[in-house]
Structure 1
């Protein structure tokens, strides 16, 4: 089950579930889906969602960590905080960096622009129904050639508002075009920029459409059956990573290349059994599969790391101790494990390279220890070979990409807030530093990590 499916199942079940005395507050389904979307794929499977006695559970099996300590490294606490800004509005879902700017989307605004040099909010585009907030964004497609691609409610104020992909001119703050999606999923594959257009969900399920990025005109469409497909662009070319959508479907997964100009499909490789899309490593696609008889991807147990070479179609598979869903950087998969632990796997053969604690305080939700705060996904600086993480508390840490040793720690003062279990802050690379978002706080910082092995 992919992210789009899980969003849909959770929402539909909870909208239909109306016992006589549920005690569940209004909008609970949408808030649960919002929590789910704010997790990246490395963390989504670790959620346990409980409402008034009904529990949707999944556990990410990454292994407990081997306890091995990396070589001694000096830890730097030097950094330069360039600016910190409190954003307008009460809730923010996703941000993306562009040329000289940061763009964010939230409940009250379909988009805002922040000067990346000063932190000043330069413009804002209000949402049509500021009291709705029923369709949060898990990510933003991005910014290209002065156009921000964001999301807005298709029917503002409706109980099931749906979603439009929106092209917004960042200079004149004018909406260039809108495109209706099949549902209100707004994750990393709902809309993908490729060379010559943007690949988006169609108004119908199991279909994608390529849109002209300036006009929104349909260039071509592609549909499939009996599978759920993630979308991405590699080298400017759109690809689908498809897995069977039920036990009745053919039990095989495929990697499909779509011609950027015509949409003509070409199957690059076929793999037995269901898989989950992990990411890309150079010219290879990484997939994860269950290898221990598990029913769901979130079930604990061994897994298979599948590597598909897009040039040759060659497939290699390797046994791993858990599903390695995480950030991929220079041949390494960084997985956020339990209790603030990070595990690094080789993207070539699945070997566990190192495991180390982040040392970030992650609070638990009162009365439910299964729900806790989450760190951001890793942001990797390949020049210094440091993987950075941000906690909801405002504390940051930088781990050596090759050994896991802590090379830098920093902190940004943010207002104290209640525990928002399952909600992860965002961290983005920018110039020589980082841009972070925690709730309504946006900041830019330049860390100065210690040298490796110093």
Structure 2
């Protein structure tokens, strides 16, 4: 089951479950799916109710694998930085941001898109949503910006309880909607729409096909369909790929990596792997897949796992034993995996070996009345020039870790209004030029950290 189907399964289960529980908070279904998307953690297979229960336990309570806390050696820590600006965005709820030339763009409940000048922090344009009170689905990420066009999401049927989702192309200068494309459901994850050389690959109105769209006109360039599998999408070197896993126990128990010709959509199977897998990310020209290794029923079950590395040029696949499923940000051969209670574990993307682990020290609070629902830190924003992985906590605290050994090289704080504890809602952190742009709720800021040099 892929991200699209899993999100819908979780929401359907919860919408049927919560009415019988008068103490359940309003909108819990969307909150849980939103939390899951913000972290983009393990996907699992099986029946909807079983999926929901497994996902809640793994994502909301414990996060990804943790284990021993062998800390990297201490080093001198810099606290030097320059806050360039901080802006309070209009509106009450913001889901996802992305950067483009000279600006940062965000999407939220009341706005399908908003543009902020990256030099000054001033809001320079905005495109309001048609209805902010319907059954909208929060975005987990935005597809991106290309050639003066922001690719974002909007409700397909604004104001209804099942609003669905359109992929929307917004021309930045004119603020004009160039085109819309209806997605299969309301999933707005990193795989829902992927920019590649010559177009954008998106969900089609069915779960077992994709459509390539001209990025200026929205015209259909080609489509590709499959059977008995769930597929994630990615672009590697500008070329679209599918990473497919069986969608049920009745399907052939194998996973495939498929290359789609950017011009025609002609498919070529690059590699075949036994059993179901989860798409972990890419490392250069390699696709990383995670699979079960010790008789687990679901990919999210605890225990050892298998890391499969597929070179998309040669089709060569190598498999490596790992002590848990390493899902997180992949940066220059390192997989940065969030652990429980604010830990990070680093694995080698080449052979799956654990490299280091670190407590970030960001003081994540628990949600009142439910200690399993804790605040989350951002995903890693990795500066390969300085080889520092930066993280942001909901309180505005920040930390920079050495990518190679996990040592703390920088700490900083951005003052933001203290809000209520929202367990499972993660802030965003993005690289921009020689610094960072962060988003916490409705607060957007740009900061230039000055990490300590290595070996100091």
TM bin (shorter chain): over 0.9
Equivalent position SS for 1:32: helix
Quick one: distance in 2 between partners of 1:450 and 1:354? 19
Give the CA deviation at 1:42.
6.7
What does residue 382 of structure 1 align with? 384
What does residue 402 of structure 1 align with? 404
Quick one: distance in 1 between partners of 2:398 and 2:42? 19
Cα 1:308–1:135 change in 2 (3 A) is same
TM-score (norm 1): 0.95
CA contact (8 A) 1:65 1:341 kept: no
Give CA-to-partner distance per residue, 1:198-246, whole Å, 9 cap, x none.
Answer: 0000012211000000000000000111111000000000000000011
Quick one: distance in 1 between partners of 2:76 and 2:420? 34
Alignment of structure 1 residues 232-243 onto 2, 5 Å: 232-243=234-245
TM-score (norm 2): 0.95
- Decide which moves more: 11-20 or 440-449: 11-20
What does residue 31 of structure 1 align with? 31
Cα 1:309–1:333 change in 2 (3 A) is same
What does residue 439 of structure 2 align with? 437
Quick one: distance in 1 between partners of 2:259 and 2:54? 40
Cα 1:26–1:77 change in 2 (3 A) is closer
Alignment of structure 1 residues 212-361 onto 2, 5 Å: 212-361=214-363
Cα 1:63–1:122 change in 2 (3 A) is closer
CA contact (8 A) 1:36 1:44 kept: no
Equivalent position SS for 2:33: helix
Give the CA deviation at 1:156.
0.2
Quick one: distance in 2 between partners of 1:149 and 1:450? 37
Give CA-to-partner distance per residue, 1:312-349, whole Å, 9 cap, x none.
Answer: 10010000000000111111111111121111111110
The alignment yields a C-alpha RMSD, in angstroms, of 1.9
Equivalent position SS for 1:447: strand
CA contact (8 A) 1:65 1:356 kept: no
Alignment of structure 1 residues 166-245 onto 2, 5 Å: 166-245=168-247
Equivalent position SS for 1:57: helix
Give CA-to-partner distance per residue, 1:367-391, whole Å, 9 cap, x none.
Answer: 2221101110111111111000000
CA contact (8 A) 2:328 2:336 kept: yes
The reply on whether 1:96 has 2:98 as its aligned counterpart is yes
What does residue 14 of structure 2 align with? 14
Give the CA deviation at 1:26.
4.3
Cα 1:357–1:417 change in 2 (3 A) is same
Cα 1:118–1:451 change in 2 (3 A) is same
Give the CA deviation at 1:453.
1.5
Equivalent position SS for 1:186: coil
- Decide which moves more: 245-254 or 61-70: 61-70
- Decide which moves more: 186-195 or 126-135: 126-135
CA contact (8 A) 2:196 2:238 kept: yes
What does residue 41 of structure 2 align with? 41
Quick one: distance in 2 between partners of 1:214 and 1:117? 27
Cα 1:295–1:80 change in 2 (3 A) is same
Give CA-to-partner distance per residue, 1:123-170, whole Å, 9 cap, x none.
Answer: 110000022262111100000000000000000011100000000001
Gapped regions of structure 1 (runs ≥ 5): none
CA contact (8 A) 1:139 1:187 kept: yes
Equivalent position SS for 2:227: coil
CA contact (8 A) 2:234 2:240 kept: yes
Give the CA deviation at 1:294.
1.4
CA contact (8 A) 1:278 1:288 kept: yes
Give the CA deviation at 1:34.
2.1
